[in-house]
């Protein structure tokens, strides 16, 4: 069985949604396998306004790679911050984007402030 088919039958145990601007959203989901093992899916979802749908890219991250992945990501970000852009104010981007109601795009979703993302 392929990972893609197996992933569909897996239960989501934790989900975190990160709104990144007007068209990008990142999803961090912890899932379980049938044998009670755990893995993470990282999904980038980009809204295509001209087509009215979403383009999604997904990465599966398995427990044996958690530490290596985190170390590589941290080193890469640190390199950009300290070597390539040392004078850039990255903290200027520490703002949250309000969630929008699909029925009313001008309203914000105050009921979902706990960081948990609903299924999409």
Q: What distance in Å separates the CA atoms of residue 27 and residue 74, rounded to the nearest whole number?
A: 19
54 within 8 A of 47, measured Cβ to Cβ: yes
pLDDT(65) > 90: yes
CB atoms within 10 A of CB 25: 21
Beta bridge partners of residue 30, listed in sequence order? 14, 40
Of 114 and 34, the one with more pLDDT: 34
| Residue 104 to residue 45: CA distance in whole angstroms | 20
Phi, psi of 58, deg, nearest 5: -130, 140
pLDDT on residue 53: 87
Distance of CA 62 to the CA centre of its chain: 16
How high is the pLDDT of residue 96?
63
- How many Cα atoms within 13 Å fall on the side-chain side of residue 45? 14
Domain boundaries, the chain: 3-112
What is the reported pTM?
Answer: 0.65
Tens of pLDDT, residues 7-34: 455 788 999 999 988 889 999 999 998 8
pLDDT of residue 102: 44
Task: Decide if domain 3-112 falls under CATH 3.40.1280.10.
Answer: no
Per residue in 27-63, pLDDT tens?
999 999 889 899 999 999 998 877 778 999 999 999 9
Q: How confident is the model at residue 72 (pLDDT cuts 50, 70, 90)?
A: very high
Distance CA 53, CA 74 (A): 32
pLDDT at 25: 94
Report the alpha-carbon distance of residue 69 to residue 75 in Å, rounded: 10
| Parallel/antiparallel/unpaired status of strands 53-62 and 11-20 | unpaired
């Amino acid at each position: 069985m392929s990972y893609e088919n197996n992933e569909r039958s897996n239960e989501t145990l934790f989900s975190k949604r990160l709104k990144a601007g007007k068209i990008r959203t990142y999803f961090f989901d912890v899932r379980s396998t049938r044998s009670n093992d755990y893995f993470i899916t990282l999904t980038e979802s980009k809204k295509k306004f001209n087509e009215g749908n979403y383009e999604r890219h997904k990465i599966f991250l398995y427990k044996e790679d958690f530490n290596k992945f985190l170390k590589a990501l941290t080193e890469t970000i640190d390199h950009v911050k300290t070597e390539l852009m040392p004078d850039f104010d990255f903290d200027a981007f520490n703002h949250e984007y309000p969630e929008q109601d699909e029925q009313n795009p001008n309203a914000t979703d105050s009921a979902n402030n706990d960081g948990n993302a609903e299924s999409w």
